[in-house]
């Protein structure tokens, strides 16, 4: 069965610094998607970045980038130049035969 | 603007009452989903529907019911059989269902409190 694990319940970063959120998953499928979603205090889930498993190149969206290690089944999110508005809960999600979310990581950004 | 609308945003219910949460989408998406979110437990799938007039149980379907009579609408009923219904409920949709369903689009959520 597929699983998604976010081992960091809480993280903090200084404004303008860089932080990396970890996500590991387990699957026997070869074709799937991975996503990072952000849930700010408003609680609306917002897509941050997506990665197709067949693509070797790591996805990048402005200050957000991923480190996708398919063999290691690792999908970490790097936030560069952190801003106060980045404070939120971040969820890693696996989409293949099933759609599975990790437990979430709460990110605090300190001014 | 296209999107997903959930209502009500906040709802209070007495024990023993059924309550229905509304979810409407104008994205022309085939698939719709209901998730429950509790502190420290991420999102857990309650029910999903890949096409009109068809739906499947998710991981925690007990005490819940759904219908999918129209493509745009996927209401969730929290019945009195649900033992711990106080939670935040999120509705989502995707262009298609099935494997590799792609990106989910979410509503703003409904907070249900049982008094």
The beta-strand segments (E) located in B1-115 are 4-7, 10-13, 19-25, 31-37, 43-51, 54-57, 64-66, 76-78, 87-94, 105-106, 110-114
CB atoms within 10 A of CB A49: 20
- In tens digits, what is the pLDDT along chain B, a chain of 115 residues? 679 999 999 999 998 899 999 999 999 999 999 999 998 678 999 999 999 999 999 999 999 999 999 999 999 999 988 889 999 999 999 988 766 677 889 999 999 999 8
Q: What is the pLDDT of residues A59-89, one digit of tens each?
A: 999 999 999 999 999 999 999 999 999 999 9
What separation, in Å, do the N-terminal and C-terminal C-alpha atoms of chain A show?
Answer: 41
pLDDT at A27 over 80: yes
Of the candidates B42, B99, B102, the beta carbon closest to that of A101 is on B42
Phi and psi at residue A38, in whole multiples of 5°? Answer: -110, 135
Contacts of B33 in chain A (CB under 8 A): 99
Residue from A2, A64, A75 nearest A38 by CA: A64
B103 touches chain A (CB under 8 A): yes
Instruction: Check residue B66 and give its pLDDT.
Output: 98
Nearest CA in chain B to A104: B42
């Amino acid at each position: 069965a597929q699983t998604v694990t976010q081992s960091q319940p809480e993280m903090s970063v200084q404004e303008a610094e860089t932080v990396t959120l970890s996500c590991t998953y387990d699957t026997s499928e070869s074709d799937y998607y991975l996503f990072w979603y952000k849930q700010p205090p408003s609680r609306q889930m917002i897509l941050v970045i997506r990665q197709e498993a067949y693509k070797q190149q790591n996805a990048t969206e402005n200050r957000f980038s991923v480190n996708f290690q398919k063999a290691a089944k690792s999908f970490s999110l790097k936030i560069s130049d952190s801003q106060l508005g980045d404070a939120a809960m971040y969820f890693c999600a696996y989409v293949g035969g099933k759609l599975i979310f990790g437990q979430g990581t709460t990110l605090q950004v300190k001014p | 603007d296209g999107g997903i609308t959930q209502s009500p945003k906040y709802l209070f219910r007495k024990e023993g009452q059924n309550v229905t949460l509304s979810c409407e989408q104008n994205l022309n998406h085939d698939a719709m989903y209901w998730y429950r979110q509790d502190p420290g437990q991420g999102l857990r799938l309650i029910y999903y529907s890949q096409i009109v007039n068809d739906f499947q149980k998710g991981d925690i379907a007990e005490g819940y019911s759904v219908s999918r009579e129209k493509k745009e609408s996927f209401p969730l009923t929290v019945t009195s059989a649900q033992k711990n219904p106080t939670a935040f409920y999120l509705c989502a949709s995707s262009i298609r269902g099935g494997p590799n369903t792609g990106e989910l689009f979410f509503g703003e959520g409904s907070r249900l409190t049982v008094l």
